[in-house]
Amino acid sequence: MLLFGINFIVKLAMKKLVLTKSRSRIRLAAWVMLALLVSMVIVASGCSRTEHRLQADREAYDVIAERNVDPRWHADDYNIEIDPRSRYFDPCDPDRPPMPPDDPASHQYMRLVDGKKGFKHWDDNGVRAELENPEWREALAEYVEVGTDDSVKLNIDSALKLAYVHSPSHQNQLETLYLSALDVTTERFRLDTQFFGGYDAKYNHNGSLKSDQLTLGADPTLQVRRKFVNAGELLVGFANSFVVEFGSTGANFASSLANFSFVQPLLRGAGRDIALEQLTFVERALLANLRAYRQYRQGFYTQVAIGELGVAGPQRGGGSTVIAGFSGQGSVGGYIGLLQQLQRIRNTEDNLSLQERTLARLVAFQEIGVIDLVQVDQFWQSIENERANLLQIRNSFELTLDYYKTGTLGLPPDLPIELDDSLIRQFQLVAREATEVEDAIVALQDYLGELSEDVGIESLGQILKDASTLVESLRRQMDDVSPDLMRMEEAVPAREQTMTNEQKRTFQRDRERLHEGLADLEQQFEQVQAEQKTIRDGLSESTKNATFGKTVVWLTNLLRLVQGSMLVQARVRLETVSVETIELDSQDA
C-alpha cells in the first residue's frame, strides 16, 4: 500500500533551570495538585454513568426518528423503557441497581475466592428481594377486566394489551431496534471529530539518593482526530510535561510538543466506497429493521390471535426479512386455538353424556334379554375410551393455556384466566343451559327408576317438586330461542346476497317452519305444565301407584319437549351463522 503522508512535527522544547528555595517548590507543587484535583472533579461531573446512558438514548432515538417519518413503517411513540405496569418493570435506579438474588452456593465466591477476600462493596446499593415488579398484579385492573376472584377475563383485545405490556418477545424487538440505532451512532462517531485528553502525575522516590522527582503531564495532553469520507485521517496532538526535582539541584523542567499528521491512502483502502462502507451498511440495516418492526407489529397480532408470527422482526448483523407460511395442519394456536380446544372439551363432554344415557338403556335391554352382554361391554369400552380422551383433551388444554400465558403473554402460569368465548358463541348451535336441563331430566328419570315398588308418597312429592324446577329451567331455555329467531331474521339480507331465487324461496320456507315449530313447542309446554299440576294435585296414598306411572310418562314428554326445543334452536342458530368474505390484495397483505 502506498501512503501519501504529511507528517509535520513542531517541537517546542523549553528547558529552564530554576533554583528556588524548598518552600517555594512545595508551594508550587501544592497549587499544581489542587488545580489537577479541581479539573478532575469538573470532568467527572460530565462523564457519569447517567450522562452516558442519557446521551446514548438521545442519539439512538434521534437516528430512529430520522427514518420514522414514512407512514408505511411509522412506529408511534417508540421507546425501550418498560411499561411500569409490566411484571418485568424495574423500579430501582438503572445506574446503581441493587444486587439481584443469587444462588447461595455460588454467592460465596463473591466474598471469598481461592482463599482471597473478594470485593466488599457488592451490596452498597442494596439487595433485591425479588426480580419481579411487586405491583404488577394490582395494576392489571387498569387496562383489563379482572373478576372478583382476581381472574383476568381474556378476549382478543385484552390478550393483545397484556402481551404489549408483559411480553419479553416484544420488548426484545424494541431493544434490537435500539441496538441497531447504536450501531449507526457508533459509525457516525468514527467519522466525526474526536477529542482525547488527559493529565497525570508521577512521583519517583529514590531512597537515600535524595533525588526525588515529581512529573506532571501526559503524552498527549490533548489530541484531535478526524477521519474523512475519502479514507483520509487527520491527527493533531499537543503534549506537555512539568518536572520538579527535589534533589540537591532543586531544578524545574518544562517541555511542550505539538504534532500534526495527515495520512491519505491512494490505492488500496482509498475512496468513499471503502471509507463509507460500514456506515452505509448500518444505516441501511437500521431502516430495514424499522420496516421489520412494522411487520413484526402486524405479525405480533396474529401470534396472539392464532399463534402464527409469520415474520422474523428486527435483526442485527444484516438479517433479512423472513416471512413464514401457515403450517397447513388444520389447527390454530394462540387465543383462537384455546377457544378451539375449549369447544372440543364441550363437544366431548356432550358426547360422553349421550353415551352414558345410551348405556343405561342398553343395560336395561340386556336385563330383559333383548341384547347380550358382549354388546353392552363393547359399548362400555367405547365410553371408557371417550373418558380417557376427555381427560387427555383437558390436560392438553391446561398445558396449552400455561404455554400461552408464559410464552406469548409473558404472564406467570399461576395467574387465573377466564376465557371469553363470545367469539365462537355463534357457532354453538345448542346452548349449554339446554344440555344441562336435558341431563337433569335424565338424572331424575334414573332416580325414579331406582325407587322400589312401595315408594312412599313423600318421595313422589319430592320428585314432583324437583320436576317443577325443571319446568322453570325449560321455560328459560325456550325463552332463549325467540331472540335467536330475531337474530336469524336480522341476518336474512346478508344471507340472501349470495343466494339464487330458488334458494331464497327455500330459505323463506325453512324460516316459516322454524317459527311454526317454536309455536308448536309453546303449545306442548302449556300441556306439559298443565299435566304436571294435575299429577301433583292428584297425589295421595291411594293414587300413588298411578301417580308414579303418570310421572314416568310426564318426564318422557318433558324430555322430548326439551330435545325439540334444542333442535329448533340448533337450526335457527345454523341459519344465523354468516361468515363475511374478506378481499385482500397482495399489496395489503
Instruction: Find the mean pLDDT for residues 482-487.
Output: 89
What superfamily in CATH does domain 431-589 come from?
Answer: Nucleotidyltransferases  domain 2 (1.20.120.330)
CA distance 328 to 333: 12
| Confidence check: pLDDT of 6 > 50 | no
> How many angstroms separate the Cα of 147 from the Cα of each of 116, 135, 153, 158?
56, 18, 7, 13
Q: What is the pLDDT of residue 39?
A: 56
| Confidence check: pLDDT of 320 > 50 | no
Q: Could you give the percent of the chain with pLDDT greater than 70?
A: 87
Q: What is the pLDDT of residue 337?
A: 93
Q: What is the pLDDT of residue 43?
A: 53
Q: What is the pLDDT of residue 171?
A: 94
Instruction: Find the mean pLDDT for residues 247-264.
Output: 78
| Confidence check: pLDDT of 263 > 80 | yes
Q: What is the pLDDT of residue 247?
A: 67
Is residue 462 very low, low, confident or very high in pLDDT (cuts 50, 70, 90)? Answer: confident
What DSSP letter does each residue of 437-466 carry, written as one string? HHHHHHHHHHHHHTS-TT--HHHHHHHHHH
- The two beta strands, 252-265 and 3-10, are antiparallel
Torsion angle in degrees (nearest 10) through CA of 555, 557, 558, 559: 90
How crowded is residue 252: how many other Cβ atoms within 10 Å of its Cβ?
19
For residue 234, what are the β-bridge partners?
A: 226, 262
Total count of residues recorded for the chain: 589
Q: What is the pLDDT of residue 395?
A: 96
> How many angstroms separate the Cα of 519 from the Cα of each of 231, 336, 414, 513, 554?
91, 37, 49, 10, 20
Q: What is the pLDDT of residue 537?
A: 84
Among 426-435, 513-522, 550-559, the range scoring the smallest mean pLDDT is 426-435
Among 80-89, 114-123, 359-368, 485-494, the range scoring the smallest mean pLDDT is 359-368
CA distance 91 to 49: 18
Q: Could you give the percent of the chain with pLDDT greater than 90?
A: 36
CA distance 33 to 304: 64
Over the Cα atoms of the chain, what is R_g? Answer: 42
Q: Cell for 384?
A: 371408557
Q: What is the pLDDT of residue 54?
A: 92
Q: What is the pLDDT of residue 11?
A: 35
Among 134-143, 380-389, 424-433, 491-500, the range scoring the smallest mean pLDDT is 424-433
Among 253-257, 329-333, 388-392, the range scoring the smallest mean pLDDT is 329-333
Is residue 425 very low, low, confident or very high in pLDDT (cuts 50, 70, 90)? Answer: confident
Q: Check if the beta carbon of residue 195 is closer than 8 Å to that of residue 224.
A: yes
pLDDT digits (tens, 9 = 90+) for 361-419: 888 888 888 888 888 899 999 999 999 999 999 999 999 999 999 999 999 999 999 99
Q: List, in order, residues 6 or more apart from 327 with CB less than 8 Å away.
A: 308
| Confidence check: pLDDT of 149 > 80 | yes
| Confidence check: pLDDT of 10 > 90 | no
CA distance 4 to 188: 25
Q: What is the pLDDT of residue 429?
A: 83
> How many angstroms separate the Cα of 558 from the Cα of each of 356, 440, 460, 538?
19, 11, 17, 19
Higher pLDDT, 17 or 335: 335
| Confidence check: pLDDT of 190 > 60 | yes
| Confidence check: pLDDT of 40 > 60 | no
pTM: 0.76
**pLDDT averaged over the chain?**
83
Segment holding 392, helix H or strand E:
helix 373-403
Q: List, in order, residues 6 or more apart from 588 with CB less than 8 Å away.
A: none
| Confidence check: pLDDT of 482 > 70 | yes
Among 131-145, 181-195, 320-334, 470-484, the range scoring the smallest mean pLDDT is 320-334
Higher pLDDT, 253 or 573: 573
CA distance 576 to 572: 6
Helices 457-479, 481-490: axis angle to 10 degrees equals: 10
Is residue 35 very low, low, confident or very high in pLDDT (cuts 50, 70, 90)? Answer: low
Task: Note the helical H segments in 46-167.
Answer: 49-67, 104-111, 156-166
For residue 10, what are the β-bridge partners?
A: 258
> How many angstroms separate the Cα of 377 from the Cα of each of 359, 374, 386, 580?
10, 5, 14, 47
| Confidence check: pLDDT of 474 > 50 | yes
Q: Determine the residue type at 441.
A: I
| Confidence check: pLDDT of 433 > 70 | yes
| Confidence check: pLDDT of 422 > 60 | yes
How crowded is residue 225: how many other Cβ atoms within 10 Å of its Cβ?
15
| Confidence check: pLDDT of 64 > 70 | yes
Instruction: Find the mean pLDDT for residues 461-478.
Output: 86
Q: Check if the beta carbon of residue 291 is closer than 8 Å to that of residue 323.
A: no
Q: Check if the beta carbon of residue 80 is closer than 8 Å to that of residue 179.
A: no
Among 31-45, 103-117, 162-176, the range scoring the smallest mean pLDDT is 31-45
CA distance 83 to 498: 48
Is residue 178 very low, low, confident or very high in pLDDT (cuts 50, 70, 90)? Answer: very high
Q: What is the pLDDT of residue 508?
A: 92
Higher pLDDT, 3 or 88: 88
| Confidence check: pLDDT of 586 > 80 | no
What is the residue whose three cell numbers read 379482572?
146
